[in-house]
Amino acid sequence: MQTNIKLTAALLSLAFAAGNPAHASSHREAPFLTHSPKVDGTDFYMFRSYGSESDSTVTFIANYLPLQDAYGGPNYFDLDTEAVYEIHIDNDGDAVEDITFQFDFNDVINDLKVPAGGEMVSVPLKNIGAIGPLANGTDNVTSRQTYTVTRINGVRRSGNSSSVTNSSDGSATFMKPLDNIGNKSISDYAAYAADHVYSITIPGCTDTGKVFVGQRREGFAVNLGEIFDLVNTNPVGPRDGETNTIANKNVTSLALQLPISCVTQGTEPVIGAWTTASLRQARILNPSPTADAFTGGNNGKKASVQGGAFTQVSRLGMPLVNEVVIGLKDKDRFNASHPSADGQFATYVTNPALPELLEILFGVTAPNKFPRTDLVSVFLTGVTGLNQPASVTASEMLRLNTSTPVTATASQDSLGVLAGDNAGFPNGRRPGDDVVDIALRAAMGVLLGNDPDAGDNTLPYTDGAIVSASDFDESFPYLKTPIAGSPAN
């Protein structure tokens, strides 16, 4: 694709997404969330569905609970039943959600026991026998989770709400598969997980969609440890010259596939979206929790009691923003904020720290053009002619033009718009878009062209850990089967 105004504008949005060295998109990025990993949003994807899926739909994937070790039993990685997880959609450009899909989780306890010396004793494990591959194979399971999905029209806490239901039986309750314990417990995890992909009826929508919530293999690629060690790598080396240090981790995905007609408004094809998680304001710890509470009895005392209004503690739209743009002192504030209030973080955009750090660490010349207005307009509004709505309020979120033609899997370029693939980042984000390299190059001034203050802006900056569409499935929910906690016997 020839360099032109549209491409230049598209790249502007990338630069804000890399105000510091590229790290995992949003893994353990804010101080408070290190205490609450179950509500830590790690990545957010939004793209027009491709592969074997209908391109008349949009796929949303919100990943939570970072850096899961597959062997992390016996509790593994359930989501927080005291939290609400949400995907918000703004379809008129005013920086306020018009549609929210809210996920609520519930524990289902089956107090399985075995005889031991004349006593029936509760078992200490998630399961006491093989599971699956069908979703109804729960007789051997001691603890699992179900969830509901609610569509909210208007502002998320005060809009009109209605239940998303299973198209097959009308139920409003869906099952979350157990995590991939190992091959002895779940012999065919891919089939087991696929049985938890549900066709859904969405209030206000003519066509059906799909939902899946469960563990998947981590899809983000980054040379994480060396990046955090003062960028202890070669930032202008080969794109595949380093190790993806989180390749052996899992993550939990909340995935929705929705008809385009269900998420757009009128003739406007551009939507913006972000994901959040919220907790109750108050928590009281019980020094003497009782077993009856765990098994569902009425007289038991839980380990903690939550109360008060829900308070947002996690937020993710564009990748890398809170991880590497927002200063440490403001990371919790960003997580609690709303896109409509993003002006408070403007200094992090106009005066980014990354170029100065790389200049010190590697002797490259950073752009010397302040304020960095080249980083501002498109990050906050979308790209004119690509993914900017007709009317827009400046705000940070992932934006997608749902009328942009899909790029077939084999033809997708991991550098997205930077390489002429307009169906890629920053026009939404597909799993195979290498947002680290794209953002890093833009932050180092690629948009400034021949400006005398552009510095070494033509170097091919990279973290050395590459990702592409071939690393993912071609069907919903796209992210690969999670790593098993133990090998086959």
CB atoms within 10 A of CB 309: 9
Burial state string for 208-224 with b = 16 or more CB within 10 A and e = fewer than 16: bbbbbbbbbbbbbbbbb
Length of the chain in terms of residues written: 489
Tell me if 210 is assigned to some domain. Answer: yes
How many Cα atoms occupy the beta-carbon half-sphere of 235 within 13 Å? 32
Q: In 3-state terms, what secondary structure has residue 66?
A: strand
pLDDT confidence band for 13 (50 / 70 / 90): very low
Tell me if 8 is assigned to some domain. Answer: no
In whole angstroms, give the CA distance from residue 73 to residue 426.
37
Q: For 154-191, how does the pLDDT look when each residue is reduced to its tens digit (9 = 90+)?
A: 999 888 999 999 999 999 999 999 999 999 999 999 99
Q: What was the pLDDT predicted at 295? A: 64
160-163 and 143-153 as β-strands: parallel, antiparallel, unpaired? antiparallel
Q: What was the pLDDT predicted at 489? A: 43
Tell me if 479 is assigned to some domain. Answer: no
Tell me if 207 is assigned to some domain. Answer: yes
Give the gyration radius of the chain's Cα atoms. 23
In whole angstroms, give the CA distance from residue 228 to residue 213.
31
Q: For 270-316, how does the pLDDT look when each residue is reduced to its tens digit (9 = 90+)?
A: 999 999 999 999 989 888 887 666 666 666 678 888 899 999 999 99
Q: Are 349 and 16 in contact (CB under 8 A)?
A: yes
Tell me if 456 is assigned to some domain. Answer: yes
pLDDT confidence band for 438 (50 / 70 / 90): confident
Structure tokens that stand for 84 in this block = 């609400």
Structure tokens that stand for 445 in this block = 């001034």
- 31: which DSSP letter? T
Tell me if 102 is assigned to some domain. Answer: yes
Q: For 442-458, how does the pLDDT look when each residue is reduced to its tens digit (9 = 90+)?
A: 888 887 889 999 999 99
Mean pLDDT of 200-219: 97
Confidence (pTM): 0.91
CB atoms within 10 A of CB 3: 9
Q: Which amino acid is at 74?
A: P
476's CB contacts (< 8 A; 6+ apart) are: 49, 53, 59, 197, 210, 212, 255, 257
Structural domain containing residue 66: 31-471
Q: Are 374 and 75 in contact (CB under 8 A)?
A: no
Q: What is the mean pLDDT of the chain?
A: 88
> What is the separation of C-alpha 5 from the centre of its chain, rounded to a whole number of angstroms?
30
> What share of the chain has pLDDT > 70, as a percent?
91
**Residue 107, pLDDT above cutoff 50:** yes
Q: What was the pLDDT predicted at 10? A: 34
Q: Number of folded domains in the chain?
A: 1
Q: What was the pLDDT predicted at 20? A: 35
Tell me if 14 is assigned to some domain. Answer: no
Q: For 27-43, how does the pLDDT look when each residue is reduced to its tens digit (9 = 90+)?
A: 666 667 777 899 999 99
Q: What was the pLDDT predicted at 378? A: 64
Helices (H), ranges, 266-362 = 291-294, 321-324, 331-336, 347-350, 354-362
Tell me if 9 is assigned to some domain. Answer: no
